[in-house]
Amino acid sequence: MNPEKLIFEGARFNVHQMELTGSDGKTYVREVIRHPGAVVLLPLIDLDTVVLIENQRPTVGETLLELPAGTREAGEPVETTAARELIEETGYRAGKLAKLHEFYSAPGICDELMHLYVATELSAGDHQREAVEQIENHVASRSQVTRYIAEGKIRDAKSLIGLYAFLYSPALSK
């Protein structure tokens, strides 16, 4: 393992400096984000209908059309995070949660591992959004999702991964 030094400790992630030895024998310093991991949810009302969110993202200065997602709390089981984030962001509760896949969000700079869960047997309820979250639910059919992707209306990587699973996974097809 390469030596690392903590250079920033944040509420949701830390930044470390890592030393790497290049093929030329020289030492190079890179900054990396150490993240506790996250979930992304594919909430299905039925096999043709998914719950998306319109999420105001100050980081990029846009409101993005996304799948609900969120960061794991320290020591929190992934399925607990999935159930909590679904309620927080959409108000829906899942009768069933099934892990579909996991992937790294940006492995060139970050170790965040995202866990994609399919949420089914949904029941509507009140959301529990954080005060800084500006989110609205957006229910969409398969044909609408296909159109949104083709028109470039969905630009968030985790959402694209989850929605391609929605569109093309044999386990999620009609």
Return the residue matching tokens 């957006």.
138
**Beta-strand (E) ranges in 67-112?**
69-71, 93-104
| Catalytic residue selected from 4, 79, 88, 133 | 133
Tokens of 85: 């984030």
User: 132, 117, 13: which is closest to 69 by C-alpha?
Assistant: 117
Is 31 annotated as catalytic?
A: no
Q: Are 122 and 92 in contact (CB under 8 A)?
A: yes
Question: Catalytic positions, please?
Answer: 133
